[in-house]
Structure 1
Amino acid sequence: MLSRGAAISLAIFCFVSFLFLFSKSGCSFQDQYQYGISLIQLPYFTNATEADNSNSSKFTDPPFQDPQNNIVPLTPRPPPSKDEVIDSGDDEVVGGENAMSYFRKLSGSTHDFLSSRSNTGQAMQILAAYSYKDHFSASISIPKKIGSIAFCRYIGANGTEVAEPVESRVYPFFVVYCSRRNKVTMLGVTNDKSEPITAANSALLIRRKFKEYQHNVSFCLAPIYGKEPKWLHFVELVEHYKLQGVNKFFIYIREIGDYDKKMIDSYVKSGEVEIVNIPGTVSDVIAQQLMGVADCLLRSRTYSKWSIFADIDERLIMTDDRMTIDGFMRSITDESIGSVAFPQRWIMKREHIPEKFESDQQVIEKMPTRAWHETTSAALKGHPLCQEQVSCWGKDIVHNEKAIRMLVHEVVEFYPGFRELFLDPSIGYIRHYRDVKMQSWEANNVANLRKFGPFSNTTYPNSIGTKLLKNVLNRLHRVYD
């Protein structure tokens, strides 16, 4: 029989072991509160970058978590070099021929479904212009028909043209591709080679010639518009993707209220967000989105290896929540993959976002990832309902140097040799918190949605939902208190 002292020691050991094992399980004390009010005072979670998995296709273990449930951050990678490549003496070559010639052929064989919205005679306006090692590109804000003639105008530091205009074509939507010239600081695009250069049809070149990617994954947000409050959607979106390893966001804005803008500006100040204003030159919603897609593909090239293209109410996520999007993209070793398409699962959102931030309890109840669970089956590529949507309403993470032309839901033209990978929903999918009342969306679509399979109740993973809620509340208090 054990002595009294030995029995006491054994009891203490068993109790401590129980506490340790309980804290490591999926039923921690904190989880008993459904990551709610009890978590509000816990520390802000940093978004540690995972170790590089470039030589492995397997999922990595999550960061170590000690018995007190504190995250132990992994060692961050050193910041990437900002060194630039040397300008090429020759123009870009695509498919064995000069890129200007290659794109001209593509423009002549491309069906332009935006032709009815095009403004053939209107003067050019530039949204942005970019300088790469072997070419220039401009995104334009006037909906010109694909194949329309445009002239590249090369402007030096003193404001005068330093080379003869070069004839090009609009291809893809909202893009004009230009050969390189020396000593150019601004790029102009005009309908006619003798048209005057103005502030509207020219722009300073944004340099995109990095030797190293500045980010592995960045985010391109479809243009924001409409009257529904955006503040809670936006903070949840940014904090969700930060936990997925994203730390650079390009936000396209058509219209937004002052209250929502205050939240976005807080991320601009912290350097995580860059705003691109969509001018009022295009009223059509689809055309606005294609303008944003075209510009962000150019803006991200050489700056970020991969870019997520998604809407404000879409949360791309890995099905195994131990893996982040950043980690998954680093695990891809097949160099032929030019984009990764995540299948859609629509989640029925039956109320608008509240007008303003009032309390922590309000956010706990109304934050989309916590409030809504009624979920469709995944919309899979090849389904009979998806004949007009090649990727069945999926959204892409795109390798910015392998894609030439994108629509809203898929890359439709890759550089030669590259292709799309469409994910099985067992690997990753989109949690799309869709407003069911907007434009009678549910009434118009529910019958077809059920053809993808049965509806079910799903939840945002507790393992990251805990961190997401804390980080959202932390940001809300910093901005609105």
Structure 2
Amino acid sequence: MTKSFYIAVIYLVVILLVLDRMNTGQLFSTGDVRAEVSRSLVDHSNVSQSRFQYNSSTSSFSSQYLINSIDRFEWYRQQMYSNLNIKKPETASNISTLYAYEFEHEITVTTTSWKRLGYRVYCRYVDRNDLEIGEPFESFTYPEYIVACKKRKGTRKIGLSVGKNGEFQPIPIVDRMLKKPKYELSMCISAIYGSEPKWLMFIEMIEHFKMQGVQHFYVHIFNASNYDLRVINDYVRTGELEVHYLIERDSRTDDRWQKVNIADCLIWSRLESKWTIFADLDERIYMTNYTGTILDYVREVKNEDVASIQFRQQWIMKTELMPEKYEGEKQIDTWMPTHRWHNSSGIGSPGHTAKCIIDSSKVFKMFIHRPTQFFPSLNRPYIQKVVNPEEGIIRHYRDQNLGSWGRKWLKGILKFGPFRNTNYPERLIGKLTENVKRRIKYVYR
């Protein structure tokens, strides 16, 4: 046998081994590293700078993103152990998936199961023929309601199970491997639940933020009346709104859905929108002395270190429930929140129940009122900019009775100063009213 013959045989064996690894669902990732995700993670505390490092090995099927020179999924595990003060994840009794999103570096699955933070789950991969690919990948729920799964070639659906060979329900995967964001400014609306009629509050909220430059809206619905759904579905029809429905398998109070909403919307908006507002149905954020819209304002943010823009809160005392159904044009002039309620608190201190506009590609963990952990930049940690009330503010039409808010929190609000009458901006109220009436007439007449 010649030397060249042996070389040819060895070469053939190597090729067959590579093909075998590909067919068994070996980890797959691309070599196109997005600037938004090629960053390390850091929280608000004084944490040493770390960086994402892309390990370009000889085979694209074994390359992966690293954090601090270790596997990113091991880094997630270390964060979970450290922040939750645990030594290993527990085994969950069940797990309910919500949505799955494919990024360049991983598939992120969001869940709805309550009290599953720090629990072990297994990622299950399914191909286009509905056949499982390879061995399950062991992962965990961290941050809360979020599971990171390694990518596998040929995956078309993904599911989660609590046991390695347990039952799972595969769900389709949303593509988030985008070259650039589709939207400059979007909004994550807090989850919709409860019995108060929402049609008018919802329309006013959408039309207000459209005037501020919001191009797309995300909302989660736990329950809503058929009457409210008529206008919600109309915004879906026009392509301005996307809806994710929440289904209960655990026992929790309605307000507990807000954290599910925030976790899913953080991932849902990531890389699809450059900036994303996180705010409630009864909140109206707008610019004050700054002569422009919110979109104009974020366009002027040139400092790439800014990952969050925080607005301070002013509470407007809402003392009645909203009307059940549309009864005519005069009713709108009377019952639009921006027309009806004016008794206003002083302005809250920085960070006090504030709301933020974030670049979700830079935020790792999100709380109701602020990010709690950032993806840092390659040079300096990301920062949060606090907007002065002279530039912008939140008018929060806060109901005094729902959730016993007045009894629980009103005394604390008094420390920010005496109450006085204030108005929604005169320069905006006419156009807002016109737009609200137009939408209502289209949907309900």
The answer to whether the Cα contact below 8 Å between 1:244 and 1:325 also exists between their aligned partners in 2 is yes
User: How much does 1:444 deviate?
Assistant: 2.7
In structure 2, the partner of 1:46 is none
Unpaired runs of 5+ in structure 1? 1-86, 113-117, 382-390
Partner residue of 2:142 out of 171, 188, 211: 171
Deviations 1:103-130 (A, max 9, x none): 1111112249xxxxx9963322110001
The answer to whether the Cα contact below 8 Å between 2:90 and 2:120 also exists between their aligned partners in 1 is no
Matches within 5 A, 1:366-381: 366-381=335-350
Q: In the superposition, relative to structure 1, how do residues 91 and 284 fare at CA in structure 2: closer, same or farther (>3 Å)?
A: farther
- Please tell me whether residue 131 in structure 1 is matched to residue 102 in structure 2: yes
> For residue 334 of structure 1, what is the amino acid of its counterpart?
N
User: How much does 1:410 deviate?
Assistant: 1.2
User: How much does 1:88 deviate?
Assistant: 8.9
In structure 2, the partner of 1:158 is 129
Determine helix, strand or coil for the equivalent of 1:401. helix
Q: In the superposition, relative to structure 1, how do residues 333 and 94 fare at CA in structure 2: closer, same or farther (>3 Å)?
A: farther
Matches within 5 A, 1:292-307: 292-307=261-276
The answer to whether the Cα contact below 8 Å between 1:110 and 1:146 also exists between their aligned partners in 2 is no
Partner residue of 1:399 out of 340, 356, 359: 359
Determine helix, strand or coil for the equivalent of 1:109. helix
Q: In the superposition, relative to structure 1, how do residues 180 and 347 fare at CA in structure 2: closer, same or farther (>3 Å)?
A: same
In structure 2, the partner of 1:238 is 206
- Please tell me whether residue 413 in structure 1 is matched to residue 381 in structure 2: no
Q: In the superposition, relative to structure 1, how do residues 119 and 96 fare at CA in structure 2: closer, same or farther (>3 Å)?
A: closer
Distance 1:233 1:363 in 2: 11
The answer to whether the Cα contact below 8 Å between 1:88 and 1:133 also exists between their aligned partners in 2 is no
Partner residue of 1:225 out of 187, 190, 193: 193
In structure 1, the partner of 2:317 is 348
> For residue 168 of structure 2, what is the amino acid of its counterpart?
I
Q: TM-score, normalised by structure 1?
A: 0.75
Distance 1:379 1:424 in 2: 11
> For residue 401 of structure 1, what is the amino acid of its counterpart?
S
The answer to whether the Cα contact below 8 Å between 1:222 and 1:293 also exists between their aligned partners in 2 is yes
Q: TM-score, normalised by structure 2?
A: 0.81
Deviations 1:39-75 (A, max 9, x none): xxxxxxxxxxxxxxxxxxxxxxxxxxxxxxxxxxxxx
In structure 1, the partner of 2:239 is 271
Q: In the superposition, relative to structure 1, how do residues 94 and 430 fare at CA in structure 2: closer, same or farther (>3 Å)?
A: farther
> For residue 197 of structure 1, what is the amino acid of its counterpart?
F
> Aligned pairs, how many?
378
Q: In the superposition, relative to structure 1, how do residues 98 and 196 fare at CA in structure 2: closer, same or farther (>3 Å)?
A: same
Determine helix, strand or coil for the equivalent of 2:397. strand
Determine helix, strand or coil for the equivalent of 1:377. strand
Distance 1:357 1:235 in 2: 12
User: How much does 1:285 deviate?
Assistant: 3.4
Q: In the superposition, relative to structure 1, how do residues 111 and 396 fare at CA in structure 2: closer, same or farther (>3 Å)?
A: farther
- Please tell me whether residue 208 in structure 1 is matched to residue 170 in structure 2: no
Q: In the superposition, relative to structure 1, how do residues 469 and 152 fare at CA in structure 2: closer, same or farther (>3 Å)?
A: same
User: How much does 1:197 deviate?
Assistant: 3.0
Distance 1:89 1:373 in 2: 61
Deviations 1:114-149 (A, max 9, x none): xxxx99633221100010111110001112432211
Deviations 1:303-352 (A, max 9, x none): 11111111110111111363111111111111111111111111001111
- Please tell me whether residue 316 in structure 1 is matched to residue 285 in structure 2: yes
User: How much does 1:448 deviate?
Assistant: 1.1
In structure 1, the partner of 2:431 is 467
Distance 1:169 1:307 in 2: 26
Distance 1:475 1:275 in 2: 19
Greater Cα shift, 211-220 or 98-107: 98-107
Determine helix, strand or coil for the equivalent of 1:103. helix
User: How much does 1:89 deviate?
Assistant: 6.6
Distance 1:290 1:436 in 2: 22
The answer to whether the Cα contact below 8 Å between 1:173 and 1:294 also exists between their aligned partners in 2 is yes
> For residue 338 of structure 1, what is the amino acid of its counterpart?
A
User: How much does 1:280 deviate?
Assistant: 1.5
> For residue 237 of structure 1, what is the amino acid of its counterpart?
M
- Please tell me whether residue 433 in structure 1 is matched to residue 397 in structure 2: yes
> For residue 379 of structure 1, what is the amino acid of its counterpart?
G
Q: CA RMSD in A?
A: 1.9
Task: Report the identity percentage.
Answer: 34
Distance 1:167 1:378 in 2: 47
Q: In the superposition, relative to structure 1, how do residues 95 and 285 fare at CA in structure 2: closer, same or farther (>3 Å)?
A: farther
The answer to whether the Cα contact below 8 Å between 2:90 and 2:119 also exists between their aligned partners in 1 is no
Matches within 5 A, 1:77-88: none
> For residue 369 of structure 2, what is the amino acid of its counterpart?
H
The answer to whether the Cα contact below 8 Å between 1:219 and 1:307 also exists between their aligned partners in 2 is yes
Partner residue of 1:256 out of 224, 234, 238: 224
Deviations 1:398-426 (A, max 9, x none): 11100011111111111132122222211
> For residue 102 of structure 1, what is the amino acid of its counterpart?
W
